[in-house]
């Protein structure tokens, strides 16, 4: 039996792949689920060092006995889930972004677990261009409320992300594909991944999750996070923030790109890493700084300064999305969005 390990890379449609395949596996495949479609927590609990788990508040605050019981229960659940997917006798898909952040010893333990259950393992990974990755990582930080407006909060780290899988499973068992929406089958990563596996996927079963948001929405999110006075910030609950972001996914249509100066600095800082990835792809990754129609920035403060321009449109968008019988927490969103008037 074969295992397909999808090492998700940020903003390459990983959540959509996971949610779609968990609900309807591609024809001829099973999908491994462990307390959710995303195996991030599963990989941590099962294979990573105890000190890594101690970084999680709920785990570090538990007693030794509770931690042991927790890990034992997760291992037993994993065995039951394996029995379920193995019953079909078809290749099994595993997917997590966390796989790429695992240490070499953790990957070795993962390999051992797989080797006990599968005769063959293939690693599949979509690879995003460096500037696209940095833009997406910045966007994710804004969505989760980070106040650090550094233009490079995270870098792709291709070699440290993928080389350990080549070492553990053999380079000939690791496959890469460039993530470029215009080149995806039917313009959709779920359909493309199924095609990569050599099978089809029903259009009606494709689910979309954790999609990108527009530059207009990002500007307002920065204003919400960084320029909201304390008295108003105290009234915006985490649930309201999450729901605001959910409503913002359909607000605006613009994108942002780095200026030539900012892009050149980013690419130069990771040239060796990009060259390593180019060699495996057999073609150079795109290093293009600008795309037609983008808002060009040198720093994220440039986006925050745009927030007042989008405020009226944002309020109208939220107002239209709220129905009369919406929960009170949703109705409270609209006045909470007055934060944008405080953007500099």
pLDDT at 342: 39
Q: What percentage of the chain exceeds 70 in pLDDT?
A: 80
- CA distances to 114, 141, 230, 319 from 304, rounded to whole Å, are 47, 14, 18, 22
pLDDT at 331 over 80: no
Strands (E), 97-202: 120-127, 174-178
Q: Are 301 and 219 in contact (CB under 8 A)?
A: no
What is the pLDDT at residue 147? 65
Full-model pTM:
0.84
**What does the chain come to in residues?**
344
Residue 123: DSSP 8-state: E
Contacts of residue 66, Cβ cutoff 8 Å, sequence gap at least 6: none
Highest mean pLDDT: which range of 61-65, 187-191, 306-310: 187-191
Task: In whole angstroms, give the CA distance from residue 24 to residue 251.
Answer: 29
Average pLDDT over the chain, rounded to whole? 84
The residue ranking higher by pLDDT, 195 or 228, is: 195
pLDDT above 70 for 31: yes
pLDDT at res. 210: 62
Q: How far apart are CA 85 and CA 125, in angstroms?
A: 22
151-165 per-residue burial string, b: 16 or more CB within 10 A, e: under 16: beeeebebbebbebb
Over residues 224-248, the mean pLDDT reads 65
Q: What are phi and psi of 100, to 5 degrees?
A: -70, -20
* Residue 295's pLDDT band (cuts 50, 70, 90): confident
Confidence of residue 102 (pLDDT cuts 50, 70, 90): very high
d(Cα 233, Cα 328) in Å, to the nearest integer? Answer: 18
Q: What is the pLDDT of residue 83?
A: 97
Query: Higher model confidence: residue 67 or residue 26?
Result: 26
Q: Which of 82-91, 240-249, 265-274 has the lowest mean pLDDT?
A: 240-249
Taking 50 as the threshold, does the pLDDT of residue 107 lie above it? yes
Indicate the helix (H) or strand (E) that contains 33.
none
> What pLDDT score does 232 carry?
62
Q: What percent of the chain has pLDDT over 90?
A: 50
């Amino acid at each position: 039996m074969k295992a397909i390990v999808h090492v998700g890379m940020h903003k390459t449609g990983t959540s959509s792949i996971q949610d779609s395949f968990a609900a309807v596996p591609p024809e001829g495949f099973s999908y491994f689920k462990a307390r959710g479609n995303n195996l991030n927590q599963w990989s941590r609990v099962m294979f990573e060092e105890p000190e890594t788990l101690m970084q999680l508040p709920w785990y570090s605050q538990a007693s030794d006995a509770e931690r042991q019981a927790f890990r034992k229960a997760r291992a037993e659940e994993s065995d039951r889930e394996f029995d379920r997917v193995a019953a079909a006798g078809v290749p099994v898909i595993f997917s997590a972004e966390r796989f790429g952040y695992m240490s070499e010893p953790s990957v070795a333990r993962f390999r051992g677990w797989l080797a006990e259950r599968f005769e063959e393992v293939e690693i599949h990974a979509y690879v995003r261009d460096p500037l696209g990755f940095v833009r997406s990582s910045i966007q994710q930080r804004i969505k989760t409320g980070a106040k650090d407006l550094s233009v490079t909060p995270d870098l792709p780290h291709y070699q440290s992300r993928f080389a350990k899988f080549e070492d553990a499973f053999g380079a000939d068992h690791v496959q890469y594909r460039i993530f470029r929406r215009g080149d995806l089958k039917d313009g959709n990563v779920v359909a493309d991944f199924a095609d990569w596996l050599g099978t089809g996927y029903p259009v009606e079963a494709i689910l979309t999750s954790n999609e990108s948001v527009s530059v207009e929405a990002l500007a307002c999110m920065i204003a919400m996070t960084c320029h909201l006075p304390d008295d108003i910030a105290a009234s915006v609950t985490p649930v309201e923030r999450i729901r605001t972001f959910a409503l913002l996914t359909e607000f605006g249509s613009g994108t942002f790109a780095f200026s030539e100066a900012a892009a050149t600095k980013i690419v130069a800082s990771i040239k060796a890493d990009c060259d390593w990835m180019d060699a495996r792809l057999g073609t150079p990754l795109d290093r293009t700084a600008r795309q037609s129609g983008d808002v060009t920035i040198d720093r994220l403060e440039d986006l925050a300064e745009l927030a007042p321009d989008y405020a009226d449109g944002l309020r109208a968008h939220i107002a239209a999305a709220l129905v009369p019988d919406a929960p009170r927490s949703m109705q409270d969103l609209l006045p909470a969005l007055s934060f944008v008037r405080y953007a500099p």
